[in-house]
Structure 1
Amino acid sequence: MKFTVEHIAELNLLLQFDSASLQTGIKVHTDAAPELQAAAKSLFDKNLCTLPDGGYLTNEGIQLAERAHKLLNVLSSKA
């Protein structure tokens, strides 16, 4: 199994949530790229964020966002 374009869009959107403050949400505007809007809706459908256009991360969303940050850090590190 590989990451799809949709998975990458979802991961990138998760990385946009502020991991330092759980009180900070995001809003994906209607003029945003279609793949960004679809990613927000998909995260909402998976119960990872509170609104179809972003909102706040749920508890599961917070855990997943933390893992996404860790994955990006590992993949970004120089060997």
Structure 2
Amino acid sequence: MPYTQDIVDEINILVRYNLSTTQEGIKVHKTATPETIAATKRLYDKGLVTQEDGGYLTTLGHEAAEQAQTVLNLLNPA
């Protein structure tokens, strides 16, 4: 199954989280792109983040963000 644009948008949100701490979240403002706002809402609906506009990662969200960041690092080495 190929990635859809919606999945890519959600992954782009997940890789913004700082995984070295659980005390740091993100806030997606209403001035963000409609795609970013929608992706964050979908992550909330899937139980990966604590708020519709971002918030903190849930346990499942932390696992997903770790894997997303690992894939990104493998495909785009520094």
CA distance in 2, matches of 1:16, 1:77: 17
Root-mean-square deviation (Å): 1.1
Count of matched residue pairs: 78
Gaps of 5+ in 1: none
What are the residue-to-residue correspondences of 1:17-56 with 2, within 5 Å? 17-56=17-56
| DSSP-derived class of the 1:2 partner | coil
Letter in 2 for 1:39: A
Tell me the residue number matched to 1:15: 15
Map Cα deviations across residues 11-52 of structure 1 (whole Å, 9 max, x no partner): 010001111111001000001000000010000000000000
Tell me the residue number matched to 1:72: 72
| DSSP-derived class of the 1:67 partner | helix
CA distance in 1, matches of 2:70, 2:28: 24
Q: What fraction of aligned residue pairs are identical, expressed as a percent? A: 45
User: TM-score, structure 1 length as denominator?
Assistant: 0.94
